[in-house]
């Protein structure tokens, strides 16, 4: 459904809509009965603020931990126990220690009995002088020892299986100072103008400077001018309210990008909506050490660095000397992004390792055994980490990339153009295998695959050549595939957003950092076009070029994604003065799949601008093929132009018949083929 207006609502539900005072009483009553309350309404009505206020009002003494205990009568219906806040973890720890103690006592008893079985045969023989009794006791002892050995090996497995009987903390309020509240609007990760129509936490004074991203450049614009321009362009979308002359608008997709905070760093963020209204109240002006000013409402939250971590602080609570997050700390990927490319188990081990390091720093006198106890982890694990051994694999990968100067990867890294070049190839004829065993590029040109390998070596060092191989394929041996199995390279490009596995079964999204600088886009799209550009030849009739297009194959449910991806490419070409006509949808040879083609206008001047302004990577023959086709076509056009003039056509009429512009005619007459009447050989 396009909107909630299409949803049929029974009258009995409409009759239950009540006023604000009644709503407060209903919420209080629901709270006393310990029932859930859903706050539903339009953005900007104050649901999040009400939720935060209620959470802050709840007394800390009433916070509870909820623990699930195993039910011996029905394993599918665990017993639920309520404990004071913070006691849940202690309950789990107590059960864990008790379970370990049971196995420890059993092992000691078995060990004593094993010693007895070894001594008993000799004692029987010395007392009764009977070899038969000695043999019987000896064989019985051997059988017992075998059973004892099996018990020792099975014991740890039984303990791990027994861990299913250890309680689990469902609601953990350990060290909580107030009742937990989770804001689902995502406003903190959104644009500077706000993700909702009106959010009082995201309000600027009119005339404030705004960092807008346009044509790959960051421009400083006045907020009032930018919003006035948006409102003017989309008059039919404006939502009006009489109070405070309020006006708001949901913006079309890809309409406006600004510098905002996403994933812990300053990044391009799309603005989903904006608003303007009259404000009569207190404002706060912040002035930085570089004399930059920011005027905002007291409740507006500003991204700050606190103890090396990003935190949001209300403007009224900011102190002199606080460090504001700025563009200088624009990190594309960091250590955590590399860790996130691994599975949940590896991510958990990394979190434990960092916890271990924090405890070491906080308590320098603690040994690894005491740290293990505090972390509730095996002593063997902390012992290895204490000796700098068996460090989690993701952290090892991040450490190696850091030594190469690739982590944290910032926008001023000198390798970024090459990285964008390789990344673009992964969206075309390259990629990463689904099992993460290699990064590759396939091409009909051996030189292209060699260039791809050389680029990887320039980024990561010559040692990655140890992991490379080139495979020749095709029915007549006319294609090559370069592969590199270096896991550091693979994880690095996965973190950057390279497609994994079959691209026809994945959404394709151009990473945001590619749009920051023009030469990032040139390299990225240059490599993509090197793999996916369809090049033309002269049609058999000799009067026009065949296809000049970019095609993507996918399943129907990815249609919207593919069209958006090609529109971004069309915008890039437009910024390079290359015109496109349309996006064509057709059937693919693979049953059930579709092919989407971006058609590039095939006028002579447009094709020439494409050759001059757009870079093509990893495919020299496509550039040569376009030049050859364009040259042949231009000579045919030029000869036809002279023929029409001799038949009495005027220049304008001849241009119209041949579909030429003044620019393309100039190019024909001065740069293609011999002059009129000149001899050719």
Per cent of the chain over pLDDT 70 is 76
Q: Check whether residue 472 and residue 511 sit in a common domain.
A: yes
CATH classification of the domain holding 241: 2.170.16.10
Q: Check whether residue 119 and residue 141 sit in a common domain.
A: yes
- Domain boundary among the residues 503, 529, 555 is at 529
Q: Please give the distance of CA 619 from its chain centroid, rounded to a whole number.
A: 29
- Domain boundary among the residues 529, 552, 578 is at 529
**Are 505 and 555 spatial neighbours (Cβ–Cβ below 8 Å)?**
yes
Q: Check whether residue 378 and residue 495 sit in a common domain.
A: no
Domain count, the chain: 5
The mean pLDDT value of the chain amounts to 79
pTM of the predicted protein model: 0.55
Continuous segment of H or E residues that includes residue 115:
helix 87-128
Q: Is residue 558 part of a domain?
A: no
Q: Check whether residue 306 and residue 376 sit in a common domain.
A: no
Confidence of residue 141 (pLDDT cuts 50, 70, 90): confident
Q: Is residue 524 part of a domain?
A: yes
Tell me the pairing of strands 265-270 and 273-276: unpaired
In angstroms, what is the C-alpha Rg of the chain? 35
| Secondary structure (DSSP) of 59-81 | -GGG-EEEEEE--SS-TTS-EEE
* Averaged pLDDT, 544-548: 78
Helix (H, G, I), strand (E, B) or coil at 587: strand
Higher pLDDT, 307 or 391: 391
Q: Which domain holds residue 203?
A: 187-330
Q: Check whether residue 220 and residue 276 sit in a common domain.
A: yes
* Averaged pLDDT, 148-158: 61
Q: Is residue 177 part of a domain?
A: no
Higher pLDDT, 611 or 1: 611
What is the DSSP secondary structure assignment for residue 500, as one 8-state letter? B
Query: What local confidence, expressed as pLDDT, does residue 426 receive?
Result: 96
Query: What local confidence, expressed as pLDDT, does residue 434 receive?
Result: 94
Output the CA torsion sign for 234, 235, 240, 242.
positive
* Averaged pLDDT, 62-68: 81
- pLDDT tens profile 571-589: 999 999 999 998 989 888 8
Query: What local confidence, expressed as pLDDT, does residue 14 receive?
Result: 41
Is the predicted pLDDT of residue 422 greater than 80, yes or no? Answer: yes
Q: Is residue 542 part of a domain?
A: no
Q: What string of H, E and C letters represents the secondary structure of 505-556?
A: HCCCCCCHHHHCCHHHHHHHHHHHHHHHEECCCECCCCCCECCCEEEEEECH
Q: Is residue 141 part of a domain?
A: yes
Is the predicted pLDDT of residue 362 greater than 70, yes or no? Answer: yes
* Averaged pLDDT, 595-621: 88
Q: Check whether residue 243 and residue 119 sit in a common domain.
A: no
Q: Is residue 611 part of a domain?
A: no
- Domain boundary among the residues 490, 508, 529 is at 529
Is the predicted pLDDT of residue 195 greater than 70, yes or no? Answer: no
Q: Is residue 321 part of a domain?
A: yes
Query: What local confidence, expressed as pLDDT, does residue 493 receive?
Result: 97
Query: What local confidence, expressed as pLDDT, does residue 81 receive?
Result: 84
Confidence of residue 74 (pLDDT cuts 50, 70, 90): confident
Is the predicted pLDDT of residue 524 greater than 70, yes or no? Answer: yes
Higher pLDDT, 276 or 198: 276
């Amino acid at each position: 459904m396009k909107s909630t207006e299409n949803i049929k609502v029974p009258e009995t539900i409409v009759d239950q809509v009540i006023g604000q005072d009644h709503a407060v009483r209903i919420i209080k009553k629901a709270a006393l009965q310990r029932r859930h309350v859903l706050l539903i309404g339009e953005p900007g009505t104050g649901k999040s603020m009400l939720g935060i206020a209620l959470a802050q009002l709840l007394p800390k003494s009433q916070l509870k931990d909820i623990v699930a205990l195993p039910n011996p009568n029905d394993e599918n219906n665990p017993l639920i126990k309520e404990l004071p806040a913070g006691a849940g973890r202690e309950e789990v720890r107590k059960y864990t220690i008790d379970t370990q103690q049971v196995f420890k006592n059993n092992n000691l008893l078995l060990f004593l009995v094993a010693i007895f079985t070894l001594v008993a045969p000799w004692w029987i023989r010395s007392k009764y002088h009977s070899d038969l009794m000695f043999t019987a006791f000896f064989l019985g002892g051997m059988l017992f020892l075998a059973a004892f050995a099996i018990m020792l090996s099975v014991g740890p497995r039984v303990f791990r299986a027994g861990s299913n009987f250890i309680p689990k903390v469902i609601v953990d309020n350990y060290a909580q100072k107030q009742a937990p509240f989770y804001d689902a609007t995502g406003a903190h990760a959104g644009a500077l103008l706000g993700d909702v129509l009106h959010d009082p936490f995201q309000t600027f004074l009119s005339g404030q400077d705004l960092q807008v991203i346009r044509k790959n450049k960051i421009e400083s614009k006045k907020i009032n001018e930018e919003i006035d321009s948006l409102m003017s362009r989309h008059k039919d979308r404006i939502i009006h309210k009489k109070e405070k002359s309020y006006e708001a608008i949901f913006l079309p997709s890809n309409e406006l990008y600004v510098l905002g905070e996403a994933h812990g760093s300053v990044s391009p963020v799309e603005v989903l909506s904006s608003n303007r209204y009259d404000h009569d109240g207190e404002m706060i002006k912040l002035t930085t050490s570089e004399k930059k000013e920011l005027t905002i409402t007291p409740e507006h939250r500003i991204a700050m660095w606190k103890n090396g971590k990003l935190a949001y602080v209300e403007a009224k609570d900011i102190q002199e000397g606080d460090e504001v997050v700025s563009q200088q700390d624009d990190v594309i990927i960091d250590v955590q992004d590399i860790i996130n490319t691994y599975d949940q188990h590896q991510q958990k081990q990394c979190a434990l390792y960092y916890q271990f390091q924090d405890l070491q720093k906080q308590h320098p006198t603690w040994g690894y055994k005491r740290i293990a106890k505090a972390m509730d982890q095996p002593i063997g694990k902390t012992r290895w980490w204490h000796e700098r051994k068996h460090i989690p694999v993701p952290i090892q990968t991040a450490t190696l990339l850091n030594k190469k100067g690739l982590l944290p990867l910032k926008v001023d890294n000198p390798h970024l153009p090459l990285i964008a070049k390789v990344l673009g190839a992964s969206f075309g004829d390259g990629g990463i295998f689904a099992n993460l065993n290699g990064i590759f590029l396939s091409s009909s040109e051996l030189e292209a695959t060699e260039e791809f390998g050389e680029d990887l070596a320039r980024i990561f060092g010559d040692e990655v050549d140890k992991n490379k191989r080139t495979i020749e394929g095709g029915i007549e041996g006319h294609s090559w595939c370069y592969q590199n199995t270096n896991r550091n390279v693979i994880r690095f490009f996965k973190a950057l957003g390279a497609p994994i596995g079959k691209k026809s079964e994945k959404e394709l999204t151009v990473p945001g950092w590619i749009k920051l600088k023009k030469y990032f886009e040139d390299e990225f799209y240059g490599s993509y076009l090197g793999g996916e550009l369809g090049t033309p030849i002269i049609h058999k009739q000799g009067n026009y070029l065949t296809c000049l297009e970019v095609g993507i194959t996918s399943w129907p449910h990815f249609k919207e994604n593919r069209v958006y991806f090609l529109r971004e490419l069309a915008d890039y070409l437009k910024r390079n003065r290359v015109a496109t006509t349309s996006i064509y949808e057709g059937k693919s040879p693979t049953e059930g799949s579709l092919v989407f083609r971006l058609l590039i206008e095939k006028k002579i001047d447009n094709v020439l601008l494409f050759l001059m302004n757009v870079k093509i990577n990893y495919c020299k023959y496509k550039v040569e093929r376009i030049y050859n086709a364009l040259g042949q076509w231009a000579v045919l056009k030029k000869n036809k132009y002279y023929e029409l003039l001799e038949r009495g056509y005027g220049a304008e009429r001849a241009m119209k018949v041949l579909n030429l512009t003044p620019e393309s005619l100039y190019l024909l007459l001065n740069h293609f083929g011999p002059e009129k009447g000149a001899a050719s050989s």
